[in-house]
Structure 1
Amino acid sequence: MSITQQYLLDLYRAQQHGEPAPPAPGTHDWQVVREWRDERRFRADLAEHPARGRKRIRNALGRWLRPRRRFTG
């Protein structure tokens, strides 16, 4: 059973019992991602490790994907 089919079944059951409709799949995904990120940063602070930023990762990937040319001369 797919997630959409399960959602429709839950929606039907909620209507039959006069209960509020469940949230649609994916409604709170971004909120969960934000909370997970905040939890990682909080645990890094507790462990006295600097939080890793997006800029550091982007720079590292840039160096890996575009290595510097070596000039001979």
Structure 2
Amino acid sequence: MSLTQQYLLDTYRAQRLGQPAPPAPGAHDWQVVRELRDHRQFRAVLAERPAHGRIRRALSRWLHRRPRRPATPA
């Protein structure tokens, strides 16, 4: 059963039982993404890590690495 079919079935059941219709699929996706971001930032603060820019800083370090010096013969 697809997501749309399940939504239509739930809407039909709610209507027959006199209950409010369920929210449409995807109606609250951005809210969930924001809450997840806020939760990750909160966990970072509790772990005493920077809450902002961690990925960008790590990628910057990786992309701008200095080349290794060749080993000098002893």
TM tier, shorter chain? 0.7 to 0.9
How far 1:55 sits from its partner (Å)? 7.9
Count of residue pairs brought into register by the alignment: 61
Look at both structures and tell me which one has the larger radius of gyration over its CA atoms: 2
* Partner in structure 2 of residue 51 of structure 1: 51
Q: Tell me the C-alpha RMSD between the 2 structures.
A: 2.1
* Structure 1 unaligned spans of 5+: 65-73
Matched, 1:29 2:33: no
Q: Give the whole-Å Cα distance in 2 for the aligned partners of 1:25 and 1:17.
A: 21
Aligned CA distance change for structure 1 residues 54 and 25 (closer, same or farther; 3 Å):
farther
Moved over 6 A (4+): none
Identical amino acids, percent of aligned pairs: 70
Q: Which runs of 5 or more residues in structure 2 are unaligned? A: 65-74
TM-score normalised to structure 1 length: 0.73
